[in-house]
Amino acid sequence: MNVLHGLSIDLEDWYQSTIDPSAELSARFEANTEKMLESFAARGVRATFFVLGLAAEKSPGIVRAVRDAGHEVQSHGYGHVEVFHLTREQFHQDLLRAKGLLEDLTGREIFGYRAPSFSLDHRTPWAWDVLAETGHRYDSSVFPIEMRRYGIADYPLEPRIVDTPEGRRIVEAPIAVFQFMGRRVPVGGGGYVRLWPYWILRNAWRQMERANRPGVLYMHPYEYDPGELKSYRGQVGWKTRLHQGLGRKKFPRKVDRLCGDFHFGPLCETLMPWLESLTIST
């Protein structure tokens, strides 16, 4: 238990960010977030909440509740459009809109970012420059495995300072992976935590500890809600409901066990050594 791993939540509503951005927030959004906050409080663990601007605008009270519970609030952007579908200028606007909104709402500086669907990859070489340019000091959006929809194969596994193409500097904290039989296996959160048995997750985090490497875990409030997908029967296809709902029942318990077996905290603390050397060098 000598490594401080990063616990992170993308604070968004499942239906709004996955199916229809123009939809109202579901009533479940606040209830699920509260469930999560209760579970973290019972375990005595703090986390980073990457808040989606669109959700914060419609539910400012829950963002303040997250802040007041002692968690770190950072940005998940405004509109949940994948970065590789935006132009550089659109990304710039999205970041500033979310940062301004969240700073007004929390009274705190916003300097960390998580992209929707880990959409920072080889298609967005300008992304780190735009992030640094808009006042972000760290990012946690790289999925260091080549997946079907996202990811960068062979990206370094440990947090690092990125020297951007235009000469800026920013800390990148990639999502946790497990190295097994010469391959990288996704274990860092969401669907992967829902589907793997606990012993695989425990072995993965033990491996990171042996390598003295902090691992970033990510999740969403809706993963604490096993009944949600049933309520969209008739509105959302069965394949999506099955895929998105699988393993939700056991999810909170797995996260709680990980937080008991390993030391987790907000990313601003996990990344302290890198953030400090960034400040010294700039």
Q: Distance between CA atoms of 134 and 100, rounded to whole angstroms?
A: 11
Number of residues interacting with Zn ion: please give it, by CB under 5 A: 3
> Of all helices (H) and strands (E), which one includes residue 112?
strand 112-113
Q: For residues 75 and 134, which CB has a smaller minimum distance to Zn ion in the complex?
A: 75
10-18, 35-43, 150-158, 202-210 -> range binding Zn ion (CB under 5 A): 10-18
* 129 vs 223, beta carbon nearer Zn ion: 223
Q: Which is nearer to Zn ion, 94 or 208 (CB)?
A: 94
Spatial separation of the C-alpha atoms in residues 156 and 114, rounded to whole Å: 17
Residue whose CB is less far from Zn ion, 54 or 105? 54
Provide, for the chain, the percentages of residues in helix, strand and coil under a 3-state DSSP scheme, each rounded to the nearest 5.
45, 15, 40
Q: Is 13 in the site for Zn ion (CB under 5 A)?
A: no
Torsion of CA 244, 249, 254, 256, to 10 degrees: 110
Nearer to Zn ion, 55 or 105 (CB): 55
Contact range with Zn ion by CB under 5 A, out of 9-17, 142-150, 153-161, 198-206: 9-17
Stretch of 3-11, 24-32, 57-65, 171-179 contacting Zn ion, by CB under 5 A? 3-11
Q: How many CA atoms lie within 13 A of 267 on its CB side?
A: 31
Nearest Cα to Cα of residue 200 among 188, 190, 182, 213: 188
Min separation Cβ 68 and Zn ion, Å: 23
CB contact at 8 A, 66 and 90: no
Q: Supply the minimum distance, in Å, between the C-beta of residue 65 and Zn ion.
A: 19
174 binds Zn ion (CB under 5 A): no
Smaller CB separation from Zn ion, 6 or 116: 116
- Contact region with Zn ion (CB under 5 A), list: 6-14, 27-35, 93-101, 127-135: 6-14
End-to-end Cα, the chain, rounded Å: 32
Q: Would you call 164 helix, strand, or coil by DSSP? A: coil
Q: Is 116 in the site for Zn ion (CB under 5 A)?
A: yes
Stretch that binds Zn ion, among 8-16, 24-32, 98-106, 131-139 (CB under 5 A): 8-16
Q: Which of 196, 219, 229, 210 is nearest to 10 (CA)?
A: 219
Shorter beta-carbon distance to Zn ion: residue 10 or 139 = 10
For 187, phi then psi, to 5°, come to -140, 5
**Helix pair angle (60-68, 88-106), 10° resolution:** 70
* Residue of 10, 13, 139, 228 interacting with Zn ion (CB under 5 A): 10
- The distance of closest approach from Cβ of residue 12 to Zn ion in the complex, given in angstroms and rounded to an integer, is 5
Interaction residues for Zn ion, span 181-200 (CB under 5 A): none
Binding site for Zn ion (CB under 5 A): 10, 12, 116
